[in-house]
Amino acid sequence: MDWLDYLFILIAYLVAASIKGLTGIGFSTSCLPIMALRLDLKLAIPLVIIPSIVSNIAVMIQTGRFKQAIKRFWMFYLASIPGLLLGLLLLVGMQVEVAKAILGLVLIIYALWALVNKSASLPEKWERSLKIPAGFSTGFVNGLTGSQVMPSLPYLLSLKLDKSDFIQAINISFTLSSLMMLLGMNRLGYLSPDLLFLAILGLVPVLGTLYIAGKLQKKLSGDSHRKFVLGVLLVMGVMLLLKLIR
């Protein structure tokens, strides 16, 4: 790596931590596209995992309501594990740029639709029946592309959760996925000591930025927070599409 690689890594950490602190989501999905402008995806993902786990835990501690989220969504979380393992298996030796572009397009379409249809919600009777397929597909997309927000984010947003409940529920999903991804990347030989050291070093700017942004997030109303989340999702989708064009 040269100095420009390290600069891109630092910028990615600062931007991702800012978004994470303000919205409660998006560390991996915003960090990866920036790093991928300079680094191979198999190098970028290990650099994102450890700061992602730590940022998730920090947000979970700030938010509270951990037990309530586990009780309500435990089937969703468990279903994500086999999906993630399958996605990781397909990642080995596979060109994933097209998959990332498709994911970007889906993010854009959903964000635009949700911004227009503010009152859209999932019928209560569907919540339980969709937990397993939503969890499995979230894990699969995460293992294949490194993105943790689809379809978990649309699923949880459609339930009209309180802001704190939403942030806690989705961050438990992020943390579980990241831990499984960490084990999977280590098993595949992608987690070298040098990358591990660099990721741990990156915790300093990540935690500092996360603390400041988290203070600002508490001042956002529920509706403003929802719009901010969808706006971030829209930008993420565009970034994933641009990566294919580059």
Residues of the chain with pLDDT under 50: none
Please state, in angstroms and rounded to a whole number, the distance separating the CA atoms of residues 163 and 229. 11
Long-range pairs of 98-102 with CB within 8 A, sequence gap ≥ 24: 98/244, 99/144, 99/145, 100/145, 100/147, 100/240, 100/243, 100/244, 101/240, 101/241, 101/243, 101/244
123: helix, coil or strand?
A: coil
Amino acid at 72: R
Q: What is the pTM (predicted TM-score) of this model?
A: 0.77
Output the pLDDT for position 95: 64
The model's pLDDT over 158-173, given as tens digits with 9 standing for 90+, comes to 888 888 898 899 999 9
pLDDT at residue number 240: 76
Closest CA to 183 of 81, 99, 105: 81
pLDDT at 93: 63
d(CA 217, CA 219): 5
Chain length of the chain? 246
Q: Which residue has the tokens 């786990």?
A: 53
3-state secondary structure of 152: helix
Enter the tokens of residue 151: 């379809």
